[in-house]
Structure 1
Amino acid sequence: MEFIMYLFVFLIFIVISSFLNIMFKLTTKRDWLMSLLFSIVLSIITIVILG
């Protein structure tokens, strides 16, 4: 159950960051990697705070 919660929050953050990357035209590989790492960290922090 906890894994599903992590996955759901991670997917929400990755969608938001992907949308922002496309909006601001940050489409290099480094930008996508940064947003992926940022989404992982934010999802862990969010689960720890809310959980």
Structure 2
Amino acid sequence: SGEFKAESTIHFRWGAMGHIKVTDRDLFKALDLLFDKIETKVTKEKGKIQDH
């Protein structure tokens, strides 16, 4: 199909988990997208913990 797939599963020490998948025709763009989504997910999860 000509697209690269990048995936990551994150396990947080407080029990939460996140699975992120991205696809792009450019490998480096796919990795950039993946890292951006990981950063967003980590920030969101940290916010949930700090609010409690």
TM-score, length-scaled by structure 2 = 0.51
Cα separation, 1, equivalents of 2:45 and 2:37: 12
Report which of the two has the higher share of helix. 1
Deviations 1:1-51 (A, max 9, x none): xx731xx22x2xx22xx15x3xxx4570011000110111011001111x2
Partner of 1:39: 41
Where do 4+ consecutive residues of structure 1 move more than 4 Å?
Answer: none
Q: Distance in 1 between matches of 2:44 and 2:32?
A: 18
Higher relative contact order (CA 8 A, sep 6+): 1
> How many residues get paired?
37
Q: Letter of the 1:41 partner, please give it.
A: T
Instruction: Give percent identity, aligned residues only.
Output: 5
Counting strand residues as a fraction of each chain, which structure ranks higher? 2
AA partner of residue 29 (structure 1): L
Name structure 1 gaps, 5 residues minimum. Answer: none
TM-score (norm 1): 0.52
